Amino acid sequence: MIQLIDVKKTFDDGKTVLKGISTTFEAGKTNLIIGQSGSGKTVLMKCIVGLFEPSSGQILYHDRDFVTMNKKDRMLLRREMGMIFQSAALFDSISVLENVMFPLDMFSYDSYKERRRRAQFCLDRVNLSDAGEKFPGEISGGMQKRVAIARAISLNPKYLFCDEPNSGLDPKTSLVIDELIHSITQEYGTTTIINTHDMNSVMGIGEHIIYIYEGNREWEGTKDEVMTSDNENLNSFIFASDLFRKIKDANK
Amino acid sequence: MLLSSYLHALGRYLILMGRVFSIPERFKMYLRQYIKEMIKLGTDSIVIVLIVSFFIGAVICIQIKVNIESAWMPHWVSGYVTREIMLLEFSSSIMCLILSGKVGSNIATEIGTMRVTQQIDALEIMGVNSASYLILPKIAGMITMMPLLVILSTFSGIMGAYAAAYIGHILTPAHLTEGLQYDFHPWFFWMGVVKSLFFAFIITSVPAYYGYRVEGGSVEVGKASTDAVVASSMLVLFSDIFLTRLLS
């Protein structure tokens, strides 16, 4: 479980991007942060994982405050995290299998054979059993995302973060990625936070959704509630798509 | 304003170096990177070092013979000057200046690309000290390989001078040998090696700093690469003056 308490972020140029966000992301659920481009959702995600320091507020990982934690404890906590970046962020000078093995090589004290077996298991889990010897540049964008998922789960993380996991992918591949993240969340009981503006993901796997509008938590609910909400800003975001407007009209 | 920005950059560089020189999370992984970097930055530079040094050695020998040597100069002067230039300046300082272009742009581009493609963020999220993991093996690898490159450069330069003697027939090999052996101070060799260790640190750490702080995309990576080469070249030249004065 991750709790955010009044998280604010103001940059050096004086621009306040997060204006006091409080929410709770529960374990074993796919938690989605949605919002328009520039609303602050990426900044929020970066604050949660520690790539940005919040100006004020608390970020509690199972009651451990990440903001006030010392460097050593932060490093240890980070080993409980897995992250899938928008660009997959695979290390392009090493093979797919070596990418997945990297966190194990760095932090696991298992034998080489064990580590390799674990990495292959993770690749099997994301249906990439035969891609281990390839290099990231030789595989498609969807496969790269799946390798990123395999790398993220290799150390059995407690917390899984996904920044725009479907960015640049076709709808069918996006569905595969969403399903994979959702099933891994349930299987491992991870606290999963997905940063997205893909409405298909919202409707498919959004067990807990927070909508960020101009740096504020504007709305919070589930995928079933999102369609019937009377929040104007949320509605203008959700029903910007012609398809979703038609679905709403059909449900009336 | 300019001074303030330089001091600001120096501060950021020192903070980065503080992170670089910290205890590795997994020594074995760093060792693996260290060996890779020795090959990439050191071994892969051997050919260019040999070629450049060979021709410069030959050219120095020819220039001295043709333009300096006269009836009033001893016949060993070409060999003597060639040796002194190669040992004291070329193989340590000028070779590092040349390598700052090759190695510096390589390091700044590699780390800069890793930054803009979020690979450094990925390392940080995993709990890896990305500055140390990426930069320390490069600095250590280059410092290890640099004395070897200096020795090879000196050797190749002298071979170039012999080639000028044998093939160009501008002086006799015996005169060249006499000049190469005349009034030899072993400290001059060690001075070149000591200087090159400092330069190795500069041409790896400065580009790494430029690459590590890139923000943006490919244009910024290109700019960082150029800035890194310019800055490290200037620092090599400035520090050469101080080191030469200090070690002479």
**Confidence at B48, pLDDT banded by 50, 70, 90:** very high
pLDDT in tens, A82-98: 999 988 899 999 999 99
Whether B181 and chain A come into contact, CB under 8 Å, resolves to: no
Chain B residue closest to A48 (CA)?
Answer: B125
Q: Which of residues 125-154 of B touch A (CB under 8 A)?
A: 125-129
Per CATH, which fold does A1-80+158-223 belong to? Rossmann fold (3.40.50)
Q: Are B62 and B161 in contact (CB under 8 A)?
A: no
Kindly give the residue spans of alpha helices, DSSP state H, lying in chain A: 41-49, 71-78, 96-107, 112-125, 141-153, 171-188, 199-205, 223-226, 232-238, 242-251
Chain A nearest CA to B197, separation (Å) = 28
For chain A, give every residue range classified as CATH 3.40.50.300: 1-80+158-223
Judged against a pLDDT cut of 70, whether residue A65 lies above it is answered with yes
Chain A residue closest to B134 (CA)?
Answer: A91
Which tokens hold the place of A56? 């004020």
pLDDT in tens, A116-172: 999 999 999 888 899 999 999 999 988 999 999 999 999 989 999 999 888 888 888
**Confidence at A238, pLDDT banded by 50, 70, 90:** confident
Q: From the list B29, B119, B124, which residue is nearest A106 (CB)?
A: B29
Q: Which residues from B are below 8 Å from A51, CB to CB?
A: 121, 124-125
Q: Which residue type, as a one-letter code, is found at position B120?
A: I
The predicted pLDDT at position A103 comes to 92
Distance CA(A148)–CA(B218), nearest Å, equals: 23
Could B125 and A83 be called an inter-chain contact, meaning their C-beta atoms sit closer than 8 Å? yes
Length of chain A: 252
Length of chain B: 248
**Confidence at A194, pLDDT banded by 50, 70, 90:** very high
Judged against a pLDDT cut of 80, whether residue A242 lies above it is answered with no
Of the candidates A199, A211, A206, A201, the one whose C-alpha atom is nearest the C-alpha of residue A246 is A199
The predicted pLDDT at position A252 comes to 63
Q: From the list B28, B117, B127, which residue is nearest A75 (CB)?
A: B127
Among B48-52, B168-172, B209-213, the range scoring the smallest mean pLDDT is B168-172
The predicted pLDDT at position A24 comes to 94
**Confidence at A104, pLDDT banded by 50, 70, 90:** very high
**Confidence at A251, pLDDT banded by 50, 70, 90:** low
The predicted pLDDT at position A109 comes to 87
